[in-house]
Structure 1
Amino acid sequence: MARQRDEHAASVLLALIRISRRGVADARTAGIRLSLTDQSIVAFIVDNPGSRSTDIAREFLLNRSTVSRQLTNLVKLGVVREATDAGGRGRPLELTETGREAYRESLGILQNVVDAQLGDWTDGEVAAFAESLARFNAARPADARPSDAGPADAASAPQTPQENPEK
């Protein structure tokens, strides 16, 4: 029984990797091509208004220098900027109008893909899938994060297409 559960869990992992890989490829058809990392940072800023680079580093277990390089690229693309009304410590980040448009466009592209994939599903199947995904995403407490590997950075990221869904 445990072996079957392990096999199902491995199947879930592989499906999530494939979904991520396809999502990155599909989103790259947008006007501004954002990598998986770029998309993740932009989504984090949208979901966490007033967030700072240190918040991003903490959330994704990245070194601050790695986040700084990613943010520099997003600033050059005209997607992210430091908030102009920043007071206090740190510099809050926000999307530019270009960034908001790129985010909406990427979401629209991805929503169209999801809608097409779910096209022949019943409303009940879609609802059950949405509930299962919400439960899956909500189940990760902060202490469930890998702690023995230390902060990840670009040098330690998976490098082969099989290991890295971004490639």
Structure 2
Amino acid sequence: MGGTLGAVGGQESAEIRQGVVRLARRLSAERPAEGLSLNKSSVLAHLRRNGPMSAGALAAADHQQPQSLTRVFAELERDGLISRARDEHDGRQRVLELTETGRDALAEDMARRDAWLDVALADLTETERQVLLLAARLLRRLADSPAELPASAPTHVPSPSH
């Protein structure tokens, strides 16, 4: 990724953050009460995309501490959505695997949230939808970026409220 710290103005960052947060909240509101929690759907989605992985690797990929997901893993296993198996590369290690039931539950959860988004997107022009598709790819790239804030960077920049 090119550019230097400060190359993008704080106002641009604030506007992007506000848009992402508002959409995330709306998608969360569209999740049925009996649906998967955000943490559960995130765990299942990581396993669907990446295959079996250790609890530590999954937590790191989700930018969380393993301890904060311990209960989520236990509940997913209890509900038959994931299982634990021996790591084929290191038999001493255990990995989490997505079960068929977990794959189905994730697909149903995503379909329910996507239904609202499909309706909302229908109100946009083709050009606007293409811009959003490009933005989604860029947001995914930002979210997956290993870049960390340099120690010398300011930790508080005044910006409009979220």
TM-score (norm 1): 0.72
Question: How far apart are 1:86 and its partner, in Å?
Answer: 4.2
Distance 2:13 2:83 in 1: 39
1:69-148 pair list within 5 angstroms: 69-83=71-85, 86-89=87-90, 90-139=93-142, 140-144=144-148
Higher alpha-carbon Rg: 2
**Which range moved further: 66-75 or 40-49?**
66-75
Specify which structure has the bigger relative contact order, considering alpha-carbon pairs within 8 angstroms and separated by 6 or more residues: 1
SS in 1 for 2:51: coil
Query: Which residue in 2 is equivalent to 1:45?
Result: 47
Q: Indicate the SS of the match to 2:45.
A: helix
Offset, 1:108: 0.8
CA–CA distance in structure 2, aligned partners of residues 62 and 133 of structure 1: 22
Deviations 1:26-47 (A, max 9, x none): 2235xx5221111111111111
Residues paired across the two proteins, number:
143
Residue segments in structure 1 that go unaligned for 5+ positions in a row:
149-162
Contact 1:82/1:94 (CA < 8 Å) preserved in 2? Answer: yes
Q: Check whether the contact 1:38–1:74 (CA below 8 A) recurs between aligned residues.
A: yes
Whole-angstrom distance in 1 between the partners of 2:14 and 2:134: 20
Three-state SS of the structure 1 residue aligned to 2:97 is strand
Pick closer, same or farther for the CA change 1:129–1:62 going to 2, 3 Å. Answer: closer
RMSD of aligned C-alpha atoms? Answer: 2.6
Match of 1:157?
Answer: none
Q: Give CA-to-partner distance per residue, 1:127-155, whole Å, 9 cap, x none.
A: 121012212322452123x688xxxxxxx
> Cα offset for 1:64?
2.2
Question: Would you identify which runs of 4 or more consecutive aligned residues in structure 1 move more than 6 Å?
Answer: none
Quote the sequence identity (%).
22
* Equivalent-residue separation in structure 2 for 1:64 and 1:81 (angstroms): 17
1-structure distance, mates of 2:94, 2:35 = 25
Give 2:106's aligned amino acid: Y
CA deviations 1:15-64 (Å, max 9, x no partner) are 212222222232235xx522111111111111110212111121233332
The CA deviation string for residues 63-97 of structure 1, in whole angstroms up to 9 with x for no partner, is 322222220011122211124x7423222222222
